[in-house]
Amino acid sequence: MSGGSRNARMVASFGAWLAEEGRSDLTIRAYTFELEHLTAWAGARSLARLGTEDLYSYLESRAQASDTPATHNVRVAAIRKFCAWLVREGLSRGNAAVELHGQHATRPPVQYLPREAVRRVLEVLHGHLRDTAMFLLVLSTGVRLMELVRLDREDFEADGEGAEVEVHAPAGRLRRVYPSHQATDAVVDYLETRRDEAVPLFISRAGARLAPRTVQGGFAGHFREAGVSGSMQTLRHTFGVHRAQSGVDSHDLQELMGYRTFESTRVYRASDPSRLREVAQRTEERY
């Protein structure tokens, strides 16, 4: 098998893995596009054997005067994710992209649902016990889509005081989140209709664990019916924005949402333009 064919198969396998991880079609296409360019640049060389200097050379060859920081950052993100996958699959001994860094870019405000939009979606979900439970669970905990579909029944513990959910985050990390009483009641109502012994917390009509794409597709229809622009990722962002607006400390928000760095929560503060004015007025002093 030629080096180019081997590289193409690796890129295809990587794309399939991204889909299994619940990445959006847009992300998969963007990452695959960048890696196809890397494959063409590498020629007969195996992508698994490229070193850090090779990757820097490739980035320089792809750089254009019209490139924005966001374009560069997608390119770097694709290579970093791919190299991490190579290590994970045992195809490479070390991550050659670990030293690659993106450029500072002004991030646009995240998309989130105003409370009125949330109510419209809930009206559409009336009678759909499973989807209502998933919607409210994400909305009140900020769990990722992949984390949601990985939940088992034993991960959800409810008592008279509320509920706790043990979330299996990426890279094997665990964290606990605390659903609202509304979300807890919705999950309990859904589970009470179940007559099966299936392990997953949420299952398909066939009794199998839900696939991320199935959930994405189902909720795309719910959002369209409600006349709302959004996705499951929008629900996660909605949790972050609403908690930030309610005064939740950024470090606490980091823990609840499972972010690795404190800086990741800044985007939720930025999504509330009135916050700085409110803070300034609340803390102003007279001299």
Sheet with 156-159, side-by-side order of all strands: 156-159, 162-168, 174-177
| Global pTM value | 0.62
Burial class (CB in 10 A: 0-12, 13-18, 19+), 172: exposed
Beta carbons within 8 Å of 103's beta carbon, 6+ residues apart: 69, 72, 73
What domains lie within the chain, and their CATH numbers?
3-88 (1.10.150), 115-274 (1.10.443.10)
pLDDT in tens, 5-28: 899 999 999 999 999 888 888 899
pLDDT in tens, 42-72: 999 999 999 999 999 998 888 876 677 888 8
pLDDT of residue 68: 79
Q: How far apart are the first and last CA of the chain?
A: 78
pLDDT of residue 274: 57
pLDDT of residue 65: 64
pLDDT of residue 261: 72
Q: Which residues of the chain have pLDDT under 50?
A: 1, 276, 279, 287
pLDDT of residue 120: 97
Burial class (CB in 10 A: 0-12, 13-18, 19+), 86: buried
